[in-house]
A = this chain, B = another copy of it.
Amino acid sequence: MFITNPEIENYIRKLTVVEDEVLLEMEKLGHKLNFPIVDRLVGKFLYLITKIKSPKLVVELGSGFGYSGYWFAKALSNGKVILSDYKEENINKAKQFFKMGNLINKAEFYVGDALKIAKQYKDIDILFIDHEKSRYLEAIQTLEDNLADNALVIADNVLWDGKVLDENPDKQTRRIKEFTEYMFNNKNFETCIVPIRDGVLLARKV
């Protein structure tokens, strides 16, 4: 079961050269720890969307050791990105990487519950949802009022390894589908899914 033809994905990946040594280091670490990072195909896409949007405030839910956050930070001109993870170990690693890449002044780092941390922020320009898959719907419902006008909501893993096609999907998959349907059916959002890697939902607050 695959989403994009693996040979096609390989073709795109070869074209997508990453020169930033910190990102390369993070990719190595992700590989070594078998830690699910968004990978460079999604990373470059997030980077470009951020460049086009030019946000002041990006809030991530579920930052791991900071791979996606690093792509956001690289794309920011005068904004900042809020990283959070429930594991202190991950956030410490993220801080190290951001220091290495001279991006530390574009970011804030928190350990704890992603939603509680995010809820402190108003006028979020980009909300990136990538924490526990069963909490995506709760996340958008909790944070909808914290979004700025025309804010973007970007959610990773919405195709969930193709399990969204299962006739009897497991609980996590059902939750992801509920979130996805909520976004597509909600007149406050204009939504599409970009089938990069594990599926990226991109929505704009109307």
Contact = CB atoms under 8 A, between A and B. Distances in A.
A195 B52 contact: no
A4 to B, nearest CB: 5
A2 B5 contact: yes
Contact of A52 (B3, B52, B164): B52
A8 B162 contact: yes
Task: Tell me how many chains of this kind the complex includes.
Answer: 2
Nearest to A200: B194
Contacts of A41: 192
A152 interface: yes
A24 interface: no
Interface string A152-172: 100000010010110000000
A51 interface: yes
Interface residues of A, number: 41
A5 B48 contact: no
A45 interface: yes
A110 interface: no
Nearest to A51: B204
Interface stretch (A10-18, A81-89, A137-145): A10-18
A45 B2 contact: no
Nearest to A10: B165
A192 B48 contact: yes
A39 interface: no
A20 interface: no
A190 interface: yes
Interface of A: 1-5, 7-9, 11-12, 15-17, 41, 44-45, 47-49, 51-53, 150, 152, 159, 162, 164-165, 180-181, 184, 190-196, 199, 202, 204
19 contacts: A3-B4, A3-B8, A4-B195, A11-B164, A15-B180, A15-B181, A15-B184, A16-B192, A16-B193, A17-B184, A45-B192, A45-B202, A48-B202, A51-B150, A52-B52, A52-B53, A52-B150, A52-B204, A194-B194
